Amino acid sequence: MDDEAKAITKAISAGGDMSKEKIAQFNEDIENICTYCLDGPANDVHTRWTCKAFKEDRIKIDAEIAAIPPDLLPYCIQCVVAPAMALDGNSSFWGHQLPDELDDKIKKLLGRNTYLKTPARDGQAQLLKDQALGIAEDDEWSGLNARQFMMKQKEAYGTGSNLDFPKATDIEMLHQGLDQSQGTRLNDDNDKVTDGEDTITLNQFQPDGQGFYDVFGDGSYTTPRNWIAALGGFGLWIPRWPGTLKQTFQFGAIKGLKASSTRMELAGWITSLTLPFKNNYATDNAAVVGKATKMLAAAKKRGRPCSRKRNHPDIF
């Protein structure tokens, strides 16, 4: 490289990343006028969004984006930096009010979303939409962007859900039922137990031959494209709660920022281990079966995890 080439390279590297507008601020020989259209400031944002010289090119590349009035786009978007997403579906993605006269197509392109306000296909779906709208429009969330709102809904790891566990009377009846199911009649007065307004005869308890009750569990996790919006939970259905003929449910949301379908399924199974009776757990998840088998084998190796002295049935 000779001296002249070196000088040119140095000049380019020193000023090459500056717009003409910037250079005009310290060099009187340079005017702050766009070189292409001779009508407008000589900077990148003008060239990209408003320069007349490139109008046809913009339309050719994307007619819809070219149709957006540039003053509706915040400066960060004009510089290709995405802002935080707003929660309100009536405004643009970044929370600006959209002028009424704007074309509906452009309103949609800029973020207007009427999904929760359009009628649903059936009553159940309408109920869900109304609930979602109620949450989204609650004043409690005003000022939060969409990400902050979802973080609030999901809460921190380990927040947990309060489960509805059996009351003391339920457990008492449960033990009477289990004694009966194992063939031990305490005395003649235990023929009948009262469950609220219903009186139930003890011989109506019907666990299987070894005293196990059926529990059906499942977990579910929504997987939208963006993990921030994913929510999940689990549910247990116990068609016959020991001590009563009534079915019962236990369910909870799984809190925390991230989760997986398997985590939801596992939460269901682990909750079934807290039930105060032996149970046959049904699941459709192969990962849970694999992990449960491994854990139970390890527990068996170490010995029975629950002592008989505790005077309640061993969950294993």
Binding residues (CB under 5 A) for Zn ion: these are 34, 36-37, 40, 51
Q: What's the residue count for the chain?
A: 316
- State the minimum distance, in angstroms, from the CB of residue 25 to Zn ion: 18
Contact of 92 with 71, CB cutoff 8 Å = no
> E-assigned strands of the chain?
192-195, 198-201, 213-221, 232-238, 248-253, 279-282
Amino acid identity at 92? S
- State the minimum distance, in angstroms, from the CB of residue 106 to Zn ion: 23
Phi-psi bin for 311: left (phi > 0), alpha (psi -120 to 50), beta? left
Cβ closest to Zn ion, residue 42 vs residue 174: 42
- State the minimum distance, in angstroms, from the CB of residue 121 to Zn ion: 50
Sequence-distant (≥ 6) Cβ neighbours of residue 101 within 8 angstroms = none
Cβ closest to Zn ion, residue 37 vs residue 270: 37
- State the minimum distance, in angstroms, from the CB of residue 48 to Zn ion: 10
Amino acid identity at 297? A
DSSP state of 144: -
Cβ closest to Zn ion, residue 48 vs residue 147: 48
CA 136/CA 229 separation, integer angstroms:
13
Sequence-distant (≥ 6) Cβ neighbours of residue 23 within 8 angstroms = 15, 30
- State the minimum distance, in angstroms, from the CB of residue 49 to Zn ion: 10
CA angle 291–292–297, rounded 5-degree value: 100
- Count Cβ atoms within 10 A of the Cβ of residue 121 and give its class: 0-12 exposed, 13-18 middle, 19 or more buried: exposed
Cβ closest to Zn ion, residue 34 vs residue 110: 34
Cβ closest to Zn ion, residue 23 vs residue 228: 23
- Paired residues of 200 in beta bridges: 193
Sequence-distant (≥ 6) Cβ neighbours of residue 112 within 8 angstroms = 89, 90, 91, 92, 98
Contact of 219 with 233, CB cutoff 8 Å = yes
Q: Which two tokens stand for residue 306?
A: 């629950």
Cβ closest to Zn ion, residue 51 vs residue 264: 51
- State the minimum distance, in angstroms, from the CB of residue 128 to Zn ion: 50
- Residue at token pair 């854990």: 295
CA 85/CA 94 separation, integer angstroms:
5
Cβ closest to Zn ion, residue 51 vs residue 230: 51
- State the minimum distance, in angstroms, from the CB of residue 53 to Zn ion: 5
- State the minimum distance, in angstroms, from the CB of residue 109 to Zn ion: 24
- State the minimum distance, in angstroms, from the CB of residue 61 to Zn ion: 17
Cβ closest to Zn ion, residue 21 vs residue 170: 21
Cβ closest to Zn ion, residue 45 vs residue 116: 45
